[in-house]
Amino acid sequence: CYISRPSSGPVPSPCPDGRTDSAYLLCRCPADLHACDSALSSGVRGGIFTLVFARINIRIRNMLFRSLLQQDIAFFDANHTGVRERESGTFYWDSCGRRLMRNVCVPPLAPSPHPPWLPHRHRYLLQNLAAQVQDVLAKANNLAEETISSMKTVRSFGTEETECREYCRRMQDVYTLNRKEAMAFSFFTCSGRVSDVQICILYYGGFLVIAKHMTPGNLISFIIYELQLGDCLENLGTVYTGLMQGTGAAEKIFQYMDQESCGTLNEGTLAPDMLKGEITFSNVSFAYPTRPHTQVLKVSSIHSPGEVTALVGPSGSGKSSCVHLMEHFYSPQAGEVLLDGLPLPKYQSQYLHSQVTLVGQEPVLFARPIHENIAYGLADCPVDMMVWAAKTANAHGFITELTDGYGTETGEKGAQLSGGQKQRVAIARALVRSPRILLLDEATSALDAESDHKIQQALCSIKENCTVLIVAHRLSTVKNADKIIVLQDGTVVEEGKHEELMRREGLYARLVHRQLLDIKSGGKRPLAEHLHRIASERAARSSGASEDLGIGID
């Protein structure tokens, strides 16, 4: 517009050379036409950009979430949950993308004002800084999430202040990096300004005006044009900086999206109508991916032929690890886990998990009504089926006593239910799917003896159609199992029925005797021993001060 406008005098009318381009039209009615065009185009542009970037944003988030859900369980062992913070990298793309699109539309008339080495160095620096910020932020976020979701533990240990200090420390780390980012940003933006170019234009333009090679009007028009162009270039600099920040943040996102699962997501195709429910461990050797050098299981054969099998053993002996392998959360380094004689990876993933259902040590309920928790993941679950599952899990009674019955909200992670109630809802959730194999990993540990007994009886009634594998410490839970497998340090040391194992007087018999002894002493024996030890230590330290203070073992 400025260039095509005559340098002085009124705008000729009509257009002398018959042009009707927008530049000339703008010269004719600069105020209203320009405003009209500008408002219209920026409105359309804003609308289109909003739509385009909302779509990109949603697409990236969907892809990221999908790829996260397809990762192996080992991935979640190794990575913190600060992913959401990292995900925010998409916002950089959003805002920078808009500005980039807006500013690249100016004609590239001026040479780049940046020294050639600068963009590369900056790109590296900014990407690096942004990636560091995302990592540190993720750590801070992780701490906040962990603390808030474990508020009872934090309160009971009185560690609120410690946690706050730790969070502040992590946020301080974020701030330190932010400061570096801000300095890099300022430096880059400042170095991108075109002040040197403006001085040259003024100097050379002035020279041309004095020499009458150019009119003052033309020079001013050119300077105004150049200012506008400079603005756009400056914006491009800002966009470039933002893009580099976004690239650093997006690196993690694309890394997650590109990450292939290590094979625990089944690509098999088997989905037979009938399963016998036989699980076999054949020469399995297993270490967790996060601790590849610590062998957790070395099992030459575990055979669970159906009915009820119990896995027992001291803490850390590998019982839950067996369950994890049966659910195909992890793959063994050597050997195979077979279902009905075929390796687990040969089965279709959805099929496998609909047939093999797990109730874990600390079952997690979702912040939804009870009926949605029971029917979790089932598109169409008949009410009578849900009630049957709840009755079998001995949950129907307490659910119907709640004011809203099956519609009662359970709160975040089931916080509005007791530990035992949560476990019973979780068992109902597993039963409602009519699994062929039910894995109960300490699934009734929070229940009183009577509730546990009722569930055991109910499980006996369904064992015709379902293989049940129980991991438990409580004698009453395992004693009636058709087969008991005893693990120690990741290997099977005994196998058989309760009476058989008791006669053998091995590890199982020792565990049972110890438990019976504890029951006789009402669970007080270990506590009394512990208190006695503490009192003796104190007495030794303060040479009789405990007597003065009246501290006694009783």
Ligand X SMILES: Nc1ncnc2c1ncn2[C@@H]1O[C@H](COP(=O)(O)OP(=O)(O)OP(=O)(O)O)[C@@H](O)[C@H]1O
The smaller minimum CB distance to ligand X, of residues 321 and 477, is found at 321
Provide Rg for the chain, Cα atoms: 36
At closest approach, how far in Å is the CB of 375 from ligand X? 29
Q: Which of residues 71-130 bind ligand X (CB under 6 A)?
A: 77
At closest approach, how far in Å is the CB of 460 from ligand X? 24
Residue 320 binding ligand X, by CB under 6 A = yes
Tokens coding 215: 């009119």
The smaller minimum CB distance to ligand X, of residues 251 and 362, is found at 362
Residue 305 binding ligand X, by CB under 6 A = no
SS3 sequence, 345-394?
A: HHEEHHHHHHHEEEECCCCCCCCCEHHHHHCCCCCCCCHHHHHHHHHHCC
The smaller minimum CB distance to ligand X, of residues 127 and 445, is found at 445
The smaller minimum CB distance to ligand X, of residues 319 and 433, is found at 319
Single-letter residue type at 7: S
Classify residue 471 by its DSSP letter. E
423 in Cβ contact with 363 (< 8 Å)? yes
DSSP string, 271-340: --S-----EEEEEEEEE-TTSTTSEEEEEEEEEE-SSEEEEE-STTSSHHHHHHHHTTSS--SEEEEEET
Residue 514 binding ligand X, by CB under 6 A = no
- Among the listed residues 291, 503, 504, 520, the single contact to ligand X using CB under 6 A: 291
- Among the listed residues 86, 99, 252, 319, the single contact to ligand X using CB under 6 A: 319
The smaller minimum CB distance to ligand X, of residues 408 and 488, is found at 488
At closest approach, how far in Å is the CB of 137 from ligand X? 25
Single-letter residue type at 75: F
At closest approach, how far in Å is the CB of 468 from ligand X? 17
- Among the listed residues 20, 290, 403, 543, the single contact to ligand X using CB under 6 A: 290
Residue 316 binding ligand X, by CB under 6 A = yes
d(CA 449, CA 54) in angstroms, rounded, equals 55
At closest approach, how far in Å is the CB of 316 from ligand X? 4
Residue 477 binding ligand X, by CB under 6 A = no
The smaller minimum CB distance to ligand X, of residues 89 and 360, is found at 360
Stretch of 117-125, 155-163, 311-319, 537-545 lying at the interface with ligand X (CB under 6 A):
311-319
List C-alpha distances in Å: 172 to 64, 143, 168, 457. Answer: 29, 14, 6, 56
d(CA 67, CA 52) in angstroms, rounded, equals 22
Residue 318 binding ligand X, by CB under 6 A = yes
Residue 292 binding ligand X, by CB under 6 A = no
At closest approach, how far in Å is the CB of 313 from ligand X? 6
At closest approach, how far in Å is the CB of 486 from ligand X? 11
Residues with Cβ within 8 Å of 471's Cβ and at least 6 positions away in sequence, in order, are: 310, 311, 312, 319, 320, 322, 323, 439, 440, 441, 442
Residue 317 binding ligand X, by CB under 6 A = yes
Closest-CA residue to 450 (of 480, 477, 427):
477
At closest approach, how far in Å is the CB of 297 from ligand X? 8
The smaller minimum CB distance to ligand X, of residues 294 and 403, is found at 294
Residue 321 binding ligand X, by CB under 6 A = yes
The smaller minimum CB distance to ligand X, of residues 73 and 201, is found at 73
Residue 293 binding ligand X, by CB under 6 A = no
The smaller minimum CB distance to ligand X, of residues 425 and 511, is found at 511
d(CA 434, CA 104) in angstroms, rounded, equals 60
Residue 333 binding ligand X, by CB under 6 A = no
The smaller minimum CB distance to ligand X, of residues 13 and 315, is found at 315
86 in Cβ contact with 131 (< 8 Å)? no
**Number of residues binding to ligand X, judged by CB under 6 A:** 13
The smaller minimum CB distance to ligand X, of residues 129 and 344, is found at 344
The smaller minimum CB distance to ligand X, of residues 88 and 361, is found at 361
Closest-CA residue to 513 (of 505, 504, 522):
505
129 in Cβ contact with 177 (< 8 Å)? yes
Pairing relationship of beta strands 437-441 and 356-359 according to DSSP bridges = parallel
At closest approach, how far in Å is the CB of 323 from ligand X? 8
d(CA 388, CA 256) in angstroms, rounded, equals 41
Single-letter residue type at 29: C
The smaller minimum CB distance to ligand X, of residues 100 and 446, is found at 446
Look up tokens 């400042």; give the residue: 190
- Among the listed residues 83, 296, 425, 438, the single contact to ligand X using CB under 6 A: 296
For ligand X, what does the binding mask look like between residues 250 and 289, x meaning CB under 6 A?
A: --------------------------------------x-
At closest approach, how far in Å is the CB of 505 from ligand X? 22
At closest approach, how far in Å is the CB of 442 from ligand X? 6
Residue 484 has a CB neighbour count (10 Å cut-off) of 22
At closest approach, how far in Å is the CB of 507 from ligand X? 13
Stretch of 156-164, 313-321, 474-482, 491-499 lying at the interface with ligand X (CB under 6 A):
313-321
Q: Which residues pair with 471 in a beta bridge?
A: 311, 441
CA end-to-end distance (rounded Å), the chain = 97
d(CA 84, CA 63) in angstroms, rounded, equals 13
Catalog residues that contact ligand X under the rule CB under 6 A.
77, 288, 290-291, 296, 313, 315-321
